[in-house]
Amino acid sequence: MDEAALILDAQRGDLDAFNRLVLAYQDLLYNTALRILGDEALAADATQDSFISAFRNITAYRGGSFKGWLMRTVTNACYDELRRKKRRPSVPLEPTNDEDEEMESPRWLADPSMSPEQKFEADELEHAIQHCLEALPVDFRTVVVLADIQGLDYTEVASAARVPLGTIKSRLSRARLRVRECLQGFKELLPAAFRLEEENIL
Amino acid sequence: MSQPSSRDTELLSVYLDGQLSKADSARLESRLKTDPELRAVYEELRQSQALLRKLPARRAPRNFTLTPKMAGIKPPLPRAFPVFRLASALAAVLFFLGYALNLSASLAASMSVATPLVANAPAAAQMVAAPTEAPQTFAPKVAATQAVLPAQQDNLAPTATPETMTLAVPPNEAMPQRGLEPQPAEPPALPLDPAWLFGLLGLAVVSGASAFLVRVRTDQNWSKANAAGPVRLGARERLLIALVAVIVLLLAAAVYWMSTGFQLL
């Protein structure tokens, strides 16, 4: 697939050429949306919206990483979906304590008071990781999904998330620590090599 | 041992991604050898990254290819469409100009009819008053006529003319017929024959309908060729068509009304 030629044709209004790009990138965009939104239906909607937006604005693409450019459209679509979701009653992404203040540590996820149903839902590693991702603030989650799950470099992440490079580095380090800390609540699901015992750390 | 600062955590994270400069990397590596706390945080970051990378990639549940409709691509306009549209618009403009011309002429005519009536009011008043005097002035004449021609009555009676019949009628009934009886109103002369207005209206409607049909036909062919689904008229389009039909009927009725001199039915 000659990506540059397809992009050029798409910029001239060739929908078939653009659809070949869609087929090449749809798994990537869908996965990104799925990890940011944590919901298959919303992720599908965001993916479709992002491709529509990409086609309508493809003349604005001026070279560089096309993957990064598409990631920006899907990130925007995810933010739109989250805004729509926020207008409807939903569970807050950040846990709060009794005084209605945001809890710094996401250890609440490993709370023994977690219902059996919740435990059952999170009894697979994938679910556990997704659970921990959703416990992150959306800006942190986006950065960690783009960098660690989709393998974008810092520049591409900064472009997709539209934040400075320094902010990306800061958010990524904090997000990684939070995810690791959260996953300690599901250590029985982690492969042996990933089980961090407190005594080993200290 | 102290908890690594957020700056150190960030450095470790960047180092993990291989984005730290050589000098900074060397400094950090020497610190990692001597600082178990820093090493533990590095290990946490590394494991977190490794776990996130272990997340299985899901396949898209369906293809997200775009249809022309989703992409906002509209079918090309048929060549005849602008011609029909222009013809319809021109005919509509000419129709309204012609209607306005006729309407202003009708209004001017009604004004000019109303003005003489007001100016001749005294004369009309005299004529209205005439019947009260008529029995005195006409009656003797009629009586005289009847007296002069008594012998001829037998001859005249079978061949009585309308004039003689009129004379036989009582004066107070005959007089109002002299110029005061309301005559049937003549439609005012219009500068533009209403037939032209009907023609222009018809042309506007036919051209507009042709433009619409040509467009719909082209859309259908294009949709079939691009697998964009059938073209259907929405509720808004149907309402618009009904509205246009009602307006055309009202305009036709208005022209007819004008042609009759705005006579009430």
B235 close contact with A: CB closer than 8 A: no
Best A148, A153, A184 member to test B by mutation, with max B CBs in 10 Å, is A148
pLDDT digits (tens, 9 = 90+) for B186-242: 666 778 888 888 899 999 999 999 999 988 888 888 777 766 666 677 888 889 999
- Average pLDDT over chain A, rounded to an integer: 82
Residue numbers of A between 162 and 181 with CB closer than 8 Å to B: 169-170, 172-174, 176-177, 179-181
Q: What is the pLDDT of residue A103?
A: 47
pLDDT tens digit string along B133-147? 444 444 444 444 444
- For B71, which of A55, A125, A154 is closest by C-beta distance? A55
Rounded CA separation A132/A129 (Å): 5
A11 touches chain B (CB under 8 A): no
Q: Is the dihedral of CA B46, B50, B51, B57 positive or negative?
A: positive
Nearest to A169 among B13, B44, B72 (CB): B13
* β partners of residue A96: A102
Count CA atoms closer than 13 A to B78's CA, side-chain side.
18
Q: How far apart are CA B40 and CA B51, in angstroms?
A: 16
Interface test with A, best of B13, B15, B19 (most A CBs within 10 A): B13
Q: Which residues of A touch B51 (CB under 8 A)?
A: 125, 129, 179-180, 183, 190, 194
Among the partner residues B19, B52, B63, nearest to A144 by beta-carbon distance: B52
Taking a contact as any Cβ pair under 8 Å apart, which residues of chain A between 138 and 167 contact chain B?
144, 147-149, 151, 154
Distance from CA of B71 to the nearest CA of A (A): 6
| Residues B87-106: tens digit of each pLDDT | 999 999 999 999 888 888 88
Q: Does the pLDDT of residue B183 top 80, yes or no?
A: no
Q: How far away is chain A from the Cα of B6, in angstroms, using its nearest Cα?
A: 8
Percent of chain A with pLDDT over 70: 76
A47: nearest CB among B17, B64, B72: B64
Q: Is B122 on the interface with A (CB under 8 A)?
A: no
Percent of the residues in chain B that have a pLDDT greater than 70, as a whole number: 67
Q: Closest-CA residue in chain A for B71? A: A52
The fraction of chain B above a pLDDT of 90, given in percent, is 31
Distance CA A22, CA A49 (A): 12
Could you say which of A34, A47, A176 has the minimum Cβ distance to residue B49? A176
CA–CA min distance B236, chain A (Å)? 25
What pLDDT, in 10s, does the model give residues B42-52? 999 999 999 89
Looking at every residue in chain B, the average pLDDT score rounds to 75
B72 touches chain A (CB under 8 A): yes
What's the rounded mean pLDDT across residues A81-94?
Answer: 70
* pLDDT at A85 > cutoff 90: no
B24 touches chain A (CB under 8 A): no
Q: What is the DSSP string of chain B?
A: --PPPHHHHHHHHHHHTT-S-HHHHHHHHHHHHH-HHHHHHHHHHHHHHHHHHTSPPPPPSS--PPPHHHHTPPPPPPTHHHHHHHHHHHHHHHHHHHHHHHHHHHHHHHHHHHHHHHHTHHHHHHHHHHHHHHHHHHHHHHHHHHHHSTTTHHHHGGG--HHHHHHHS-HHHHGGGTTTSPPPPPPPPPSS-HHHHHHHHHHHHHHHHHHHHHHHHHHHHHHHHTT-------HHHHHHHHHHHHHHHHHHHHHHHHHTTS---
Please write the tens of the pLDDT for every residue from A117-132.
Answer: 555 544 578 888 899 9
Q: Residue A102's beta-bridge partner residues?
A: A96
List, in order, residues 6 or more apart from A95 with CB less than 8 Å away: A102, A103, A106, A108, A135
Residues of chain B in contact with residue A19, where contact means CB-CB under 8 angstroms, are 65-66
